[in-house]
Amino acid sequence: MSIPNHLGKYEIVDILGKGGMGTVYRAHDPSIDRIVALKTIRRELLDGGNGESMVDRFRNEARAAGRLNHPGIVAIYDFGEDQDVAYIAMEYVDGCGLGQFIKHHDARFPIADVVSIMIQLLEALEYVHQRGVIHRDIKAANLLITASGRLKITDFGIARIDAANLTLVGSIIGTPNAMAPEQFLGREVDHRADLFSAGVVFYELLTGARPFTGPAEAMAYQVCNTEPPAPSSLKADVSVEFDEICARALAKRPEDRYADAEAFCAALRLAYERAFLSPASPLLSEETVVMTAQAVRERLAALKAGAPAAAAQSTSAPSMSVTPTQWQEDTLRTVERQLAAYIGPLARVIVRRAAASSADLGELYGNIQDKLDSDEARKGFRDGLTRVGLKPPAMETAASPGGTSGVAASRTGASGTTGAGITPADLERATKALARHIGPIAGVLVKKAARDVGDLASLHAVLAAKIDGAAAQARFFEDVGRQA
């Protein structure tokens, strides 16, 4: 297969995959020295009679996702046409499609991780819907799980934007196994169609099976007329609380579903708390993060072995990089190797997570050292970094009277505890409240802030400062039970 050297200003590096609409390339943007994924429309589609509508739909994807800025949504950078090819330049991430992951690993996620995935999905959908965008094709294949355990929504190709005329009432557009009844019937579609599709994803994650199956005609009939079996009837470990949530999300009439993604998410959190007597976490478990990271490594190895079409994501789920932009890849790999001597393969996950919330090497070390269970291990890790030329500036501070380095003492205190009067329940409540606004990184930020402040009021003030907008900050204070 011939690969172009350039598309527009982008230098083509290699092929990531090929799907129904076209090819996805890994490319370099020389203007700002950034690697991107270029999603293209196949030439034969452009040459056909529906070429103009395909380009319109492609442009619509760029418009829909390009106006969105959320950690749970794949970023869109550019739209262009070159050599009779239309393309979208988007974020490049090391990750695997949720549907692909489920299919290839033949395993269900733990219930806690199912809920975590759904919380991330629904929070992203709430953001999308508040900005007048309806995705209209939410399905496992259009959801990415990155190597750091973060969910991202991709493929806004058939999204409907307020005042857009591309997708009209009377058209049937979407993927049959995840479409809402009103989509099959060609009726007006609003944000509740996305909630129905999210219910399909939830059902599949809980049971390992889709609620509606068979040829398109059979699925259309089932979606519009039949109720799928309750998840708990298929899997004994599924709480009946989740049966009720699935039933409401998959209601035939839009008005019988949840009013919005926020209400769906709130019901899910409440059901989890009732079933497991503990709050749901927006963070995936370390075990699942490690398993996901391994899947990403396997996919990249397959790509290097020369099997891009089979191993890479389809065009609806391009591969992307999770390396924080302020970090050099070689630096992170060096830190990973030093840490792996003490904790094994989990080092990669911990370093990547810590780097996402660290501004410099000193802060990165401070975030990582808490994972080591002894002063000897922390000293060995620190000395190992120094030997390879990565001595963080913060390490040069004077040692505390107890012999702990200044960076360690400032973060953990003499006993490794949080500020006075801050309880585990306070931290859990703050994490949940903050995660509504900034996503799964909330847990890391709360733990870090709790070690640096003296009391609960100060903790809340520090965390609120990380949220954009006075209204959102006020909501955070309300959620943690404190006046702004």
49 & 133 share domain: no
Alpha carbon distance 412, 428 (integer Å):
18
Stretch 267-283: mean pLDDT, rounded? 88
Q: How many residues does the chain have?
A: 484
| Predicted pLDDT of residue 475 | 86
Enumerate residues 6+ apart whose C-beta is below 8 A from 312. Answer: 15, 16, 17, 24, 299, 302, 303, 319
Please give the Cα distance from 96 to 312 (Å, whole number): 8
Asked if the structure places residue 417 within a domain, the reply is: no
pLDDT of residue 28: 93
CA distance 382 to 369: 9
CATH number at residue 208: 1.10.510.10
The 8-class DSSP code of residue 480 comes to T
| Stretch 288-302: mean pLDDT | 69
Q: Looking at the domain assignment, is residue 445 inside a domain?
A: yes
Catalytic residue positions, numbered = 137
Q: What is the pLDDT of residue 374?
A: 73
pLDDT digits (tens, 9 = 90+) for 132-153: 888 888 999 889 888 778 899 9
Q: Is residue 254 part of a domain?
A: yes
**Are residues 239 and 183 both part of a single domain?**
yes
The answer to whether residue 316 is domain-embedded is no
Q: What is the pLDDT of residue 474?
A: 86
- Report the DSSP beta bridge partners of residue 96: 145
Rounded Cα distance, 219 and 213, in Å: 6
Residue 460 corresponds to which tokens in the numbers above? 């809340």
Tell me: do 152 and 84 sit in the same domain: no
Residue 199 placed within a domain? yes
Specify if 451 maps to a domain.
Answer: yes
Residues 210, 224, single domain; the answer is: yes
Residue 407 has pLDDT above 70, yes or no: no
Q: What is the mean pLDDT of residues 8-27?
A: 81
Least confident of 13-22, 149-158, 330-339, 424-433: 13-22
Residue 169: the pLDDT is 35
Helix (H, G, I), strand (E, B) or coil at 279: coil
Residues 249, 155: one domain?
yes
Q: In total, how many domains does the chain have?
A: 4
**Distant-in-sequence contacts of 391-395, Cβ < 8 A, 24+ apart:** 392/360, 392/361, 392/362, 392/364, 392/365, 393/360, 393/361, 393/362, 394/360, 394/361, 394/362, 394/363, 394/365, 394/366, 395/362, 395/365
3-state helix, strand, coil in the chain (%, to 5): 50, 10, 40
Retrieve residue 77's tokens: 């950078």
pLDDT surpassing 70 at residue 61: no
Average pLDDT over residues 114-136: 92
Answer with the one of 42, 73, 90 that is the final residue of a domain. 90
305 or 18, greater pLDDT:
18
Q: 195-249, pLDDT tens digit by residue?
A: 999 999 999 999 989 999 888 788 888 999 999 999 999 998 898 999 999 999 9
Check: CB of residue 136 under 8 Å from CB of residue 194.
yes
Residues paired with residue 153 on neighbouring β-strands, in sequence order: 73, 143
**Rounded Cα distance, 124 and 426, in Å:** 25
CA distance 467 to 475: 10
Same domain, 237 and 385: no
Residue 296 lies in a domain: no
Q: Which residues contact 58 (CB under 8 A, 6 or more apart)?
A: 21, 41, 79, 86, 88, 157
Asked whether residue 299 is domain-assigned, the answer is no
Are 192 and 241 in the same domain?
yes
For the chain, give me the number of helices (H) and strands (E)?
A: 21, 11
Domain co-membership, 450 together with 474: yes
In the listed set 36, 70, 90, which residue is the last one of a domain according to the structure? 90
In this prediction, residues 403-427 reach a mean pLDDT of 53
Q: What is the pLDDT of residue 14?
A: 85
Q: Do 82 and 212 share a domain, yes or no?
A: no
Domain's final residue, options 241, 256, 276 = 276
Tokens standing for 235? 């899997």
Same domain, 254 and 115: yes
Examine the domain organization and report whether 351 and 474 are in the same domain. Answer: no
- The domain that holds 59 is classified in CATH as 3.30.200.20
Predicted confidence at residue 411, as pLDDT, reads: 36
Whether residue 82 sits in one domain with residue 133: no
Range of the domain at 65: 6-90
